[in-house]
Amino acid sequence: MLIETELTPNPATIKFLPGQAVMGNGTRDFATPEEAEASPLADALFRLGDVTGVFFGGDFISVTIAPGSEWRDVKPDVLSILLEHFSANMPLFAPGSAAGIAVPLDDDAFGDDPEDAEIVAQIRDLIDTRVRPAVANDGGDIIYRGFDEGTVFLQLQGACAGCPSSSATLKNGIEQLLKHYVPEVTEVRAV
């Protein structure tokens, strides 16, 4: 089995491609070792000590390492864990847990007004069809969190969370795209 790697815009994150599906549907972000306990794979990666984030996408795993850690030291261990996991066809989540079930985020947390339903539908469609595929190529995901008085709130996950270029991507890429197609959008903010 061969596991390919791709660099991401975030120098602390590498995207690993095992050549098979990782998550059938949706994504899963592990930002702490406690969250990772739900997945034997994520847990094993966090146990390396240098890993600070694990993200499961459709056909990839993004792994983020701590500041001061070097990929040349960590990458062989990450590859070994991934190779063992996928070669043995091990489960992604711990048996008997609800860890594999994705619970939608509370979209109303930022006050979506029912009168903005058409605007929100346009924003969601653009994010799902134009933004999320591009962000997934970089080893991450972006989740719609709300629309309030012209401001769109988005949550960055995987390689995008903490990426040095995420602010530029939000302002120069996503914000401009949304403003172009949805004139009611005045700003995009990360939460």
pLDDT single digits (tens) 79-90: 999 999 999 999
Q: What is the CATH number of the domain that holds 178?
A: 3.30.300.130
**Is 162 contained in some domain?**
yes
pLDDT tops 80 at residue 116: yes
Higher pLDDT, 19 or 99: 19
- In this prediction, residue 103 carries a pLDDT of 47
In the block, residue with structure tokens 């401009």: 176
Spell out a b/e string for 124-161, using b for 16 or more CB atoms within 10 Å of the CB, else e: eebbeeebbeebbebbbbbbbbbbeeeebbbbbbbbbb
73 lies in the same domain as 125: no
The per-residue pLDDT for range 29-60, each reduced to its tens digit, is: 999 999 999 999 999 999 999 999 999 998 99
End of a domain among 43, 71, 88? Answer: 88
User: What DSSP state is assigned to residue 131?
Assistant: I
User: What DSSP state is assigned to residue 163?
Assistant: -
83 lies in the same domain as 118: no
pTM of the model: 0.76
**Is 104 contained in some domain?**
no
> Quick one: which of 27, 16, 23 has its CA closest to 71?
16
- In this prediction, residue 100 carries a pLDDT of 47
| 119: CB partners within 8 A, 6+ apart | 147, 182, 184, 185
pLDDT tops 70 at residue 104: no
| 98: CB partners within 8 A, 6+ apart | none
The per-residue pLDDT for range 154-174, each reduced to its tens digit, is: 888 877 777 767 777 777 788
Q: What is the CATH number of the domain that holds 11?
A: 3.30.1370.70
Residue 34 tokens read as 């406690």
Q: For residue 126, give its domain range.
A: 114-190
10 lies in the same domain as 53: yes
Q: What is the mean pLDDT of the chain?
A: 86
**Is 154 contained in some domain?**
yes
**Is 176 contained in some domain?**
yes
123 lies in the same domain as 164: yes
**Is 94 contained in some domain?**
no
Q: Categorize the per-residue pLDDT at 78 as very low, low, confident or very high, splitting at 50, 70 and 90.
A: very high
8 A C-beta contact, residue 54 and residue 42: yes
79 lies in the same domain as 140: no
84 lies in the same domain as 122: no
Share of the chain above pLDDT 70, in %: 90
| Number of alpha helices (DSSP H) and beta strands (DSSP E) in the chain | 7, 8
pLDDT tops 90 at residue 136: no
**Is 167 contained in some domain?**
yes
